[in-house]
Amino acid sequence: MPDPIDAEHNLLRALAWMCQQYIGDAEGNSLDHMCMGAGEDAVALLYRYGYVDSLGRGAAWTEAGRALLNSN
């Protein structure tokens, strides 16, 4: 059975990359969920973990979020 800590990290990293790919800006600095429910939920979850700073309709990656995107 996988370590739950590693599994959680891998799930959050996958979510972060999906957000960056589909609702991220070209520079990789911010996210705009475009008021889509799934995007809103994803940004809210990343915010709860401290990976983004809330910007209303979107968010900006924090240093922790950038580190998550760059982690293995």
Residue 72 has pLDDT above 80, yes or no: no
pLDDT tens per residue, range 13-53 = 999 999 999 999 999 899 999 999 999 999 999 999 999 99
Q: What is the CATH number of domain 4-70?
A: 1.10.10
Q: Please state, in angstroms and rounded to a whole number, the distance separating the CA atoms of residues 58 and 37.
A: 12
Confidence of residue 1 (pLDDT cuts 50, 70, 90): low
Torsion of CA 25, 48, 56, 40, to 10 degrees: 70
CB atoms closer than 10 angstroms to residue 50: 12
Cα separation, 46 vs 48, whole angstroms = 5
pLDDT at 2 (0 to 100): 65
pTM: 0.88
> Does position 7 have pLDDT exceeding 70, yes or no?
yes
Q: How far apart are CA 13 and CA 23, in angstroms?
A: 15
